[in-house]
Amino acid sequence: MIPVNTPHLGGNEAAYLQECIETGWISSEGPFIERFESELARYTGRKHAIAVCNGSAALDAAMIALQIGPGDEVIIPTMTIISCAQAVVHVGATPVVVDCDADTWNMTAEGVEAVITPRTKAIMAVHIYGLPVDMSPILALAEKHGLYVIEDAAEVIGQEYKMTNGEAQKCGSLGDISTFSFYPNKHITTGEGGMVLTDDDALAARCRSARNLFFKSGRRFVHDELGYNLRMTNMQAAMGVAQFERLDWAIQRKREIGHLYQELLADHPMIQLPLPNTEYAENIYWVFGMVLNDDIGFDADEAMARLGKHQIGTRPFFWCMHEQPVFRKMGLYEGLKCPVAERLARRGFYVPSGLALTDKEIYEVAETVKKEIR
């Protein structure tokens, strides 16, 4: 079996975890948490980084910090993970979805602008599958309308975005508040884990309080607000520190994987491959996705089943938020159509692209794709 993802744990992970065990710092307090936070803040050029238990929790903390609530609208891409929409719903606000670009698979400023209303409170820009959202026009829109920008950078840790002035900025530094995920398929993994990043002192303070049940300063077990237990453990942070030490290698390896797939599948007439670059970014290939041409007589589910018979792991693209049964039951998105995202959801999937993948396995996957998808 060639798994769709296998993490690479070839650094100091075991040594740092052993240190946690020997010192007894295994819970949500300990030196590795502060170290992990400070290193990610410095790397992204952020003033604050707040470690949490997973990427979904990071989005929850961002919503609470921004005090988004009932009556507010947050614009999100329809093709994304449900964590983005549910973070909005959890605080009583409404997620307003937009279609995506057929080539980059990301939301566009034009799509966002078309759905801004007096109730819009924030734009959640979610970078999809290795290429970032074109952020300069999104940031301009937010400034024009007085909106917050929440940047979900879970899939592009280490990616850079080229601003319109030519300056390169790290993804994770491009919104009022940004989030990372450290799930095992990310460039840095802590097993489960996440991070909230911001330059705003007040937002950072609210995130830290929200992740720790809003314990009142000076008097523990007294609470003025309801929060969550979103804390990251010192053991998770120890893994994160070890992984961060090898982030440059991880980015280089991801791009090597992506470039080799591009070379091997370049002449395939029946599939759309990811864009290698745009005018504002070079693809970091978090995963290697592909989209079946419309003249192929089967969909992504059939393609994945065919590859599965050869013991090749795959995953489908995200299912559109406006087609999620849970949101339809809430009366959301009735009659809404997002044709680009709907097509990608049905005809898009990705192949093995984890950091432990070997070149030999890439050749095997590519040959099988060419054989089975005709």
- Catalytic amino acids? 186
160-162 and 168-170 as β-strands: parallel, antiparallel, unpaired?
A: antiparallel
Task: Report which secondary-structure segment, H or E, holds 54.
Answer: none
Distance in angstroms (rounded) separating the CA atoms of residues 11 and 14: 8
- DSSP symbol at 115: T
Strand, coil or helix: what is 196?
A: strand
Q: Give the H or E element holding residue 66.
A: none
Tokens of 105: 């698979």
DSSP-based three-state secondary structure for 234: helix
Pairing mode, if any, of strands 160-162 and 48-52? Answer: unpaired
* 269 neighbors 150 (Cβ within 8 angstroms): no
Write the burial class of residue 70 (CB in 10 Å: 0-12 exposed, 13-18 middle, 19+ buried).
exposed
* Token pair listed for 64: 């609470």
Q: What residues are paired with 221 via a beta bridge? A: none
